[in-house]
Amino acid sequence: MTLVDYATYIAGLPRVLAGAAALFRDDEGRVLLVEPNYREGWALPGGTVESDAGETPRQGARRETLEEIGLDVRLGRLLAVDWVPGTARPPLVAYLYDGGVLGAERIAAIRLQEEELLSWRFVARADLPAHLPGALGGRVLAALDALTAGTGPVELENGTPVA
């Protein structure tokens, strides 16, 4: 295969987006959610991995956390990887990392990125499905289960654990 053929081959491959987020909790076990201003609903601190700039998912989650809530946190272990099919966008591979438990000092230091976010709050596990419907809600619940069980990363498809 020539160099031109290889470039054509690469250009013709399917596109997949990569996203990464951090799962932060308070000392009561509630999950930190942010409210974007560009769409309905709530989310975790995180966003699209800038792979064209050589960024890894872990680096992307840390960068997005700093940009969105003003916290530069060394993230813990990978909790979940989720394959989310696309309809109006390419499929998404979503990585979710343990952000740890935030103490009062860290919580007081949260500063929202006003260009993208309206507010933030801590939400109890029982209330998460109302705030995070669909794949994201399933991903967060599976990650919380992995934390509680002390198990390795959970493989998910559209927010549902793969057997």
pLDDT tens digits for range 77-103: 999 999 999 888 899 999 999 999 999
CA distances from 102 to 2, 16, 29, 51 (A): 53, 32, 10, 28
Which residues are registered as beta bridge partners of 32? 122
CATH for 17-161? 3.90.79.10
Given phi > 0 = left and psi -120 to 50 = alpha, else beta, which region is 42?
beta
Q: Which H or E element spans position 48?
A: strand 46-48
Domain boundaries, the chain: 17-161
- Span 54-72, average pLDDT: 97
Who contacts 36 (Cβ-Cβ below 8 Å, separation ≥6)?
42, 43, 116, 117, 118
CA end-to-end span of the chain, whole Å? 39
Q: Which residue has the tokens 């009561």?
A: 28
pLDDT value for 89:
86
Give the confidence band of 44 by pLDDT, cuts at 50, 70, 90: very high
DSSP state of 111: -
- Span 117-132, average pLDDT: 97
